[in-house]
Amino acid sequence: MSGRIGPRVAAAPRRGFTIVELLVVLAIAAVLMAAVPPLISAVFPGVELKAAARRTAASLRLVRETAIRTGAEAALVVNVEERTLEGPGRGIVTLPHRIRLRLNAAVREQIDADRGAIRFFPDGSSTGGVVVLARADVRSGYQVGVNWLTGRVRLAPWADK
């Protein structure tokens, strides 16, 4: 006999993934992440609409906080034709193209036929107004209202009557 103890066992194959396999999985994940959000908004259009209404309310609250913090008037400009919101110190927020906007604001805050503003003052009050967001194919949506006396921003359901 030779000096071996027991039968010889073959070396176990290495386990794991090659770099090519990892890159393929990452590429598939990137394609899925790019494709899924538009599909979700197409299947659940109410989700997209509510998210846009929340973004609008958040933009208004941010402009109010800016006016209070800086001690100077600040306004959120709403462009109903281009579906954009523009406030001080931040870029333009563009809302999805499937959403219709309507702005009811003070006459002195109307810039032109497509644009108007809701202005906030350093004490937190506002010129007041309502931004209505709805999908083009339905007669309901959300309204984001601003109380002129307190400047409070409120989000609520809306239905066209």
* pLDDT tens digit at each of 161 positions of the chain: 555 666 666 666 777 888 998 899 999 988 888 877 666 656 666 888 999 999 999 999 999 999 999 999 999 999 999 999 999 977 899 999 889 999 999 999 999 999 999 999 999 999 999 999 998 777 889 999 999 999 999 999 999 87
Residue 121 lies in a domain: yes
Is 3 contained in some domain? Answer: no
pLDDT on residue 37: 67
Rama region for 120: left / alpha / beta (φ>0; ψ in -120 to 50; rest): beta
- Domain of 59 in residue numbering reads as 45-159
Q: What is the pLDDT of residue 12?
A: 64
97 found inside a domain = yes
Q: Kindly report the CATH number assigned to the domain that includes residue 116.
A: 3.55.40.10
Question: Per DSSP, what are the bridge partners of residue 126?
Answer: 120
Rounded Cα–Cα distance for residues 104 and 132 (Å): 8
* Phi then psi dihedrals of residue 130, to 5 deg: -140, 135
Residue 27 domain flag: no
Provide the 3-class DSSP secondary structure of residue 36: helix
* Total number of domains constituting the chain: 1
